[in-house]
Amino acid sequence: MITHPENVAAAVTPRRVPDAAPCVHALAPTVLLTPEAQVSLLMQVASKPATRAPLVATAIGGWAVVVALLGALVLGGCNGPRVVHESPVLVTGERVPLTDSVAAAAGARILATQLATAETRDSITAIATAGCAPDVCAALARGEVTLGMTEAQVLAATRTTPAAWRARRSGPVTTLSAPSLQAAPSDAAGEIAMVQLADGRVGAIGYREPQGVRLVQRAEDATRVGRARATADALVREGDAMVAAGDRTAALDRYDRALVLLPDDAMLQYRIATLLDQQLRPVEALIRYQRFLQQLELQRIDAIGNAHAKLADAIARAQQRIIVLERQAR
The model's pLDDT over 234-248, given as tens digits with 9 standing for 90+, comes to: 899 999 999 999 898
Instruction: Say what the pLDDT of residue 87 is.
Output: 82
- Whole-angstrom Cα distance, residue 123 to residue 158? 14
Range name among 34-48, 74-88, 160-174, 223-237 with the lowest pLDDT average: 34-48
pLDDT of 80 reads 59
pLDDT digits (tens, 9 = 90+) for 2-13: 444 444 344 444
> Does 322 have pLDDT greater than 90?
no
pLDDT, residue 108, reads 92
* Number of CB atoms found within 10 A of residue 48's CB: 9
pLDDT number for residue 45: 53
Q: Examine the pLDDT at 40 and tell me if it is beyond 60.
A: yes
Beta-carbon contacts of residue 105 (< 8 Å; ≥ 6 apart) = none
Indicate the CATH number of 227-329 among 1.10.10.10, 1.25.40.10, 3.40.1360.10, 3.30.2290.10: 1.25.40.10
Q: Which residues pair with 216 in a beta bridge?
A: 205
Least confident residue range of 70-74, 89-93, 255-259, 260-264: 70-74
pLDDT of 302 over the 60 cut: yes
For residue 122, pLDDT over 70 is answered with yes
**Band of residue 16 on the pLDDT scale cut at 50, 70, 90:** very low
